[in-house]
Amino acid sequence: MTVGVRQRWRDSRPALPPDRPVLPTVLAVLAVVAGTGYRLGLLLHDAPPTNSDEATMGLAALHISRGQEFPVWFYGQAYMGTLEAYLAAPVFALVGPSTLGLRLPTLALYAVFVVLAWRLTLRLTGDHWFALLVVALLALGSDRVVKNQLIAGGGYPEMNAAGVALAMLAYDLAAGRPGRRLPRWAGWGFLAGLMLWVDPLVLPYVAATGAVLLAYGRRELRGRAGVLLGAAALVGAGPLLVHSLATGRNPVAAVLAAGGSGQPAGWAERLHGGLVLGPPLGMGFCSPSHCTPGQLWWAVALPLLLLAAALSAWRALRPPVADLGQLPFRADGNCPRSIVATGGAVRLALVGAAVGTLALYTASSAAGRTPVESSRYLSCLLISVPALLWPLWSAARRGMTGVAAVLVLAATLGTAAVATAGAVDAAPAARAAEARHAGLVAALRQRGVRHVYGGYWTCNRLTFATREDVLCAVVDDDLRPGHDRYLPYRRAVRQSTAPAWVAPAGSPLAARLDERRHADPAAFDLVTVPGWRIYLPRS
C-alpha cells in the first residue's frame, strides 16, 4: 500500500529533465558554505558590533547555564521569548560565556534558513538554477541583514528559519506528500506555537501558511492530525501560556506598546519609513544605517514584484486543463489537487504574508519615529524571496522579452553585493570598538572596581563582558535612575559603598559628570582609557 502511495506521489510531480542537474546543486552547496563562512568571518572580527540588548540575552543564557534563573521573557519586558538564551546556555556551559558563543546558535540558524529556502524553492518551482539564484542572494548580507541574522537580541535569527520551515511543511501537507504525515502536522503546530512565544513579527507567515493547510487539509485536520497539531502548538507556546496564566500579564498589550501605539507618528513619516526606507534597508540593499538614492530603487520594485508574484501564483492555482492530469494522491482520499496548484497556493501565501508584514510595519509608529533601526521588523520579508523573484526568472527565460527581467535580477544581486561590501568595510571599526571596550574592562579590573553606574548602552554590555564581576546600574544623562532590565544589579550597586561611574568619551553623560567634577574637584579621580572615562569616587 505504502509503495503504491509513494509511486503515485512521484508520478504526480512535474517532470524533471532526463539528467538531474548536478552543477547548480553543487554551486548551491558552495553558496551556502560561502554565506556561512562570510558570517563566521564577521563574527571572528567582532562584527556586527554587540550592544547591551544582546548582552541582556547573554546574561540570561549565563543564568540558565548556571541553573540560577530560567527566564521566559527578555529581561525587563513581558514579550519576546528567550529561545536564543536557551540555545546558547549549553555553549556557555561548555566553553564559558562570550559574544561569539552567544552567536554560534544564530549562525547555525542562518545556515538552516538558507538550506530550507533552497529546498522550498525546489518544491515550489522545480528549477535548480532558480534555487541557486535564491541561495546566492541569501548568501549575501548587508549590515542590517547580518545584524538581524547574527545578533542574539531576541527573535530575529529564529524567525526566518521557522518561517521557511512552516512554508515547506505546509506545502508537503497540502500536496499530499506521503510518509511522516502526523509528524509534519505536529512540526507545523509546534513551530507556530513556538514563534508565538519567541516573536510575533512572524505571525503573518504563520497565518498565511495556516490558511493553506485549512484550504487543502480540512478533512485531515478533523481527525488525529488536528488534535496533534493543536497539542504541539500548545507545547510550543507553553512558556507564554504558563507565564501569562501565572502572572496575569497580557503579552499582546506589551507588544502593542512596544510598537509605539502610545507614541504616534504622522502618516507621511510612517509611509516614508515603511514603504520607502524600510524594504531596501530590511531586505539588504542599503549601506550601514542609511540608504543612498540609488539603493532606494528596491522600494519601487518591491510593490511591482509583489503584484507580479501574486498574479503568477493565482494563475498556478487554476492550471490549464492539460495540467489536470497530474494529480497527486491525497491523504484524505478526496479533492485531489495538482502539484502546480499547491505550489501556487504556497507562493500566494508567501506574497500575502509579505504584504501583511509591510502593512503592519507601516501602520506602526516605529516606522515613522525610528525608520532606520526599526527596519529590522521587516527581516521576515526574506522568507518570501522565492515567490517574489519567480516571475522575474520565468520572464528572463523568454529571450528578448525577458531583457528587462534579467536587468532587474542583475540589479538585485548587484545592489545586494555592494551593500555586503559595505558591511565588510565596517568590520574593522567594530573590531576597534570592541578593543576599546576590552580596555575599559581591563582598567576596571586592574583597579578592583566591582560596582558602577553608566548609561543604558553601557551597563549590561559591561556586566556580560566581565561575567558579572562588574555590576552596573543604569542612569540617564542627568544622573537619574534609568531603565535597568535586571533589577538585582541596581540593588547591588546601591548597596555598594563607593560605586564608580563610567561613560563613553564625548557622551552627554560624560559631559554631565565633568560638570560635577569641576564643581567639586574632590569628588572624583578621573581615569581615561581610549573611548571611555572612568570616574572613581575619592571617598
Write out pLDDT tens, residues 413-445.
999 999 999 999 999 999 999 999 999 999 999
Is pLDDT of 105 > 60?
yes
What is the C-alpha to C-alpha distance for residues 59 and 85, in angstroms, rounded to an integer? 8
What is the C-alpha to C-alpha distance for residues 507 and 465, in angstroms, rounded to an integer? 21
Lowest-confidence segment of 151-160, 210-219, 256-265, 448-457 by average pLDDT: 256-265
Q: Tell me what the mean pLDDT of segment 502-531 comes to.
A: 94
Residues ≥6 apart with Cβ < 8 Å to 171: 120, 123, 124, 177, 212, 342, 343, 346
- Reduced to 3 states (helix: H, G, I; strand: E, B; else coil), residue 452 is strand
CA 292 to chain centre: 24
Plot region of 448 (φ>0 → left; ψ -120 to 50 → alpha; else → beta): left
| Dihedral (CA of 110, 161, 277, 416) sign | positive
Neighbours of 139 (CB within 10 A): 22
What is the per-residue pLDDT for 539? 67
Is pLDDT of 358 > 60?
yes
What is the C-alpha to C-alpha distance for residues 351 and 390, in angstroms, rounded to an integer? 12
Total-model pTM: 0.91
Residues ≥6 apart with Cβ < 8 Å to 374: 273, 278, 361, 364, 366, 367
Beta bridge partners of 502: 534
462-506 per-position pLDDT tens digit: 999 999 999 999 999 999 999 999 999 999 999 999 999 999 999
Mean pLDDT, all residues of the chain: 90
Q: Give residue 400's pLDDT band: very low, low, confident or very high (50, 70, 90).
A: low
Q: Give residue 279's pLDDT band: very low, low, confident or very high (50, 70, 90).
A: very high
Alpha-carbon Rg of the chain, whole angstroms?
A: 26
CA-to-CA separations, 182 to 22, 163, 415, in angstroms, rounded: 32, 19, 43
Beta bridge partners of 528: 533
